[in-house]
Amino acid sequence: MKTKKQVRELLENLSLPEKAAQLIQLTGNFFEGSGIETGPSMGVELPPEMVRHAGSILNVTGAETLRKVQENYLKNSKNKIPLLFMADVINGYRTVFPIPLAQGCSFNPELVKAGAKASARESAAAGLHVTFSPMADLCRDSRWGRVMESTGEDVWLNRRMVRAMVEGYQGDSLDTPQTVAACVKHFAAYGAPEAGREYNSVDMSEKKLLEEYLPAYKEAVEAGCALVMTSFNTLNGIPATANKWLNREILREQWGFDGVLISDYAAIHELMEHGVAETEDQAAELGIRAGVDMDMVSPAYGNHLVKLVEEGFIPEEMVDECVLHILELKNRLGLLDNPFRFDQETMDREQACLGCKEHKELAKSLAGESMVLLKNEGILPISERSSGKKIALIGPFADSRLLCGSWSMFYQEEEVVTLQQGMEEVFGVDRLLTAEGSFLLEKEEEFLPFKGQPITGREERERSGKTDEELLREAVGLASEADVVILTLGEHPQQSGEGGARTNLCLPGCQRKLLKEICKVNQKVAVLLFSGRPLAIPEVEEKAQAILQVWFPGTEGGSAMADILSGRMVPSGRLAMSFPWCVGQEPLAYSRLSTGRPVRPDQPNRFSSGYIDAPDRPLYPFGFGLSYTAFSYRDVRLDKKEFGKGEDFCVKGTVKNTGEYPGAETVLCFVQDVCGSTARPERELKGFEKIFLRQEEEVEFSITIKEEELRFITAEGVFETEPGIYRVFAGGETLEIRRKE
C-alpha cells in the first residue's frame, strides 16, 4: 500500500483536468461494460479527456468483464490510476439474501453480518470494489417504496444492523479478495419524504433529525464505512447534495468522516431541477462546495470543474481535497499497487464462492429468521409425517421465482427455490395440490418497473390464457378437498423499491376475493404474505387462521418457507416496522409521544388522540412476532435503583422455553424517560438479545443500558439525560430506575 506521502505526490502529478476526471463516475456504456442503468437515462456528453481519466464506473460486474475494462482504460490513461468499480449489492450478489427490511426482523446482527460478509466475498469475486450498501434511512411510512431497503422504523435496531453490514462487507481490511468497501446511504433522512412520495421533500426539526434520523449513518461512520452517499431529497429546503451543514459540519467536522462522499445518481445535475442552481456549472459549484467528492453519472463536474477553478470560482485545493479522498480509497483497496488487486489464480479460485452451498445455507438461515409469524390458531407447523393429509398450495406466489426483491440484479433466476419446490422437498409431491388461484395484479393495474416495459394486470392475463373465474374455481375446488391450505398473497417485488411509492397498501381485489372464497370452504388457511413493505391486511387477520410474513426471502426462500411450515425451523422473527390497519395511519411508529390526550382503550372519549374510523395503534406493532413454542420470564430486575451521568445499568432476568419446540426468543428492552424538559417517547428500544433455547431450557440474560444511549436534546438544547424516573419495559415487566441529580 502506498504511503500518504506517495498518494499526495500522485495527486500533485495530476493536471487539473485529470483531477476533475477522478471525481466522475460513469455508466458502463462509456467503456466495454454494458452496465445496468439504475436511474433516469442521462444523455451525458463529456470531453473525451474526462472519460479517458474518469475515476469510476458503476453497476458493471463480472471478473472477466471488469478486467478487460480496466486493461483498456489503463492503456488509454496517462496517469495509470485505475478505475473504481461500484455496484448495488443490496441483499446479495449471486446468492440473494432476504431484503434488508426482512433482515431487520431477524433481530440477529451477527447473522446479518455473516450475510454481508458472504455478499462481499461474491462481489469481490465478481471484480467489484464498492457496494452501495447499507441503506441506513430510518423508515416510518410504508407508502414509501424504499422501506424494503431499510431495516425499519427503530433507531436502535437500525444502528445495530447498519454496523453489522459495514463490518460484514469491509472485514478487517479492504485489501483482500473477500471484502469490499461499504457505502452508507442515503445521507440524509431520505426515508422521511412528505406523504411517502418518492424523492419528495423532507422537513423536520433539527432535534428529530439529530435524535432519530442521523444516528444510523453516524453508526456506519463509526464502524469505519469507507463511503457515504448523499440523498436526492431536500432537507429543510436545502438539497442534501448541496448541503454544506450536513456534509461538512456534521459528517466531516463533527463525525470525523474522512472517506469518499459520492452523490446519488445524477443528483448534482438535479440541483437545477430542485431550483437551487440555474445552470449546470452552478450545480457543480454547489456540489463541490458542499464537499461532494464524486459526481455519480451527471455531467456537472466533468463539464465545469476545470473552468470553475481556472476562472477563480472555486479554489483548486477544494478539488484536491476530493481527489485525495478518492485516491486514498483506491490505495486502501490495493488498486494503486495492483490495478487488478489480485492475481488471476486468486480471482479464479474466488469464483467458486459464487452461489456456493455455504452461502446458500446462510441465505436460508437468514430467510428463516427474517420471517415473522403474525397469527397462528394452532394450524402451523404442518406435520411432515401425516402422509394422508393433503396440502393445498394456492396463490400467485405458490411457484413464483419473484422472491428476491427489486434491488437484486446479479442473480440467476433459475437458482431461486420456489415455495412449491421447497414444499415438495419437505412434504413430498403427492401431498400437494397446487393452483394459482388468482393473478398478482388487478386487471387494470399497471406500473413502470425498475427497467423495461410496464408491468400490467392485463398482460398477466394475456400470458396466462385463463380467466380470473377459472383460476378461482380451480383453487376453491382444491381447497375444499385439502386438510390445510397454504395461501400465498402479496405485492409484486417491483411495487416496492426505488420509485415504488404507493397510496394504497391493500391487497388487490382479485387476491382478496381468493382469500374470501378459500376461507369459505376450508377453515385451516395459513396465509404467506410476500411484500417489500408492511401492507394493510385487516381482512387477512380476520379470515385466516395463520399468517406468516415472508417478505422477499431470496434465493433460498422456498426452502426456508417449507422449513418454517413443517417446523424444521421455528419462526423467531419480530417486526422491524409496524403493520397499519390502513394507509391512513401512515406514517406510523411505536416510539411516539403520548400527546396530552392519549387514547385509553377502556375509556372511549371523543376528545382523545385517535381516529373515529380506525384504531390509533397498528394492526401489528414493531417488535411483534410469534413462535411455535412459548417462553416465560422470571426474576426480571435492574441491577441498581439509580444511575448518574456516564453510569450504565443492567436489566437482568431468566427466560425459559416452556413449549414443545426449540426456539429463539428476542428479549427486548424498552426505556421511557417519564418526564423531561421536552416530551419524550412512550418507549424506545435501547437493547435486545436473541437467545436460542431448547425445550425446558432456561438462561439468565443481562442487557446493559448505557446512560449515553438515553441522552436527548433538552429544552435548553443540551444533549444529556435529566434527573427523574425512567421506566424499563422487559420480559413483560415494568421496572423503574432514577437518574439522580
Residues lying near ligand GLC in the complex (CB under 6 A) are found at 38-39, 58-59, 88, 132, 185, 264-265, 498
C-beta closer to ligand GLC: residue 38 or 179: 38
Strand 446-447 versus strand 455-456 pairing type: antiparallel
| φ/ψ (deg, to 5) at 351 | -60, -25
CB 90 within 8 A of CB 408: yes
b/e code 451-466 from CB counts within 10 Å (16+ = b): eeeebbbeebbeeeee
CB of 323 to ligand GLC, least distance (A): 21
Peptide bond into 587 cis (omega under 30): yes
Which one of the listed residues 264, 468, 563, 673 is annotated catalytic?
Answer: 264
C-beta closer to ligand GLC: residue 166 or 423: 166
C-beta closer to ligand GLC: residue 396 or 500: 500
CB of 40 to ligand GLC, least distance (A): 9
Of 238, 237, 220, residue with least CA distance to 229: 220
CA distance 681 to 566: 40
Q: Locate 112 and state its grid cell.
A: 446479518
Q: Locate 738 and state its grid cell.
A: 432514577
Q: Where are the alpha helices (DSSP H) in 443-548?
A: 457-464, 468-481, 509-521, 538-543
Q: Locate 420 and state its grid cell.
A: 412449491
CA distance 561 to 363: 12
264 catalytic per annotation: yes
Q: Where are the alpha helices (DSSP H) in 371-494?
A: 419-427, 457-464, 468-481
C-beta closer to ligand GLC: residue 132 or 217: 132
CB of 402 to ligand GLC, least distance (A): 21
C-beta closer to ligand GLC: residue 265 or 301: 265
Alpha-carbon distances of 512 from 66, 439, 527, rounded to whole Å = 47, 11, 12
Can you give the length of the chain in residues? 741
CB of 455 to ligand GLC, least distance (A): 19
C-beta closer to ligand GLC: residue 264 or 556: 264
Q: Quick count: other Cβ atoms within 10 Å of Cβ 333?
A: 26
Q: Please, what is the angle between helix 300-310 and helix 316-332, to 10°?
A: 130
Alpha-carbon distances of 113 from 166, 185, 483, 649, 694, rounded to whole Å = 8, 17, 40, 27, 24
Strand 631-638 versus strand 724-730 pairing type: unpaired
CA distance 250 to 214: 10
C-beta closer to ligand GLC: residue 132 or 643: 132
C-beta closer to ligand GLC: residue 119 or 672: 119
Count Cβ atoms within 10 A of the Cβ of residue 542 and give its class: 0-12 exposed, 13-18 middle, 19 or more buried: exposed
Catalytic residues: 264
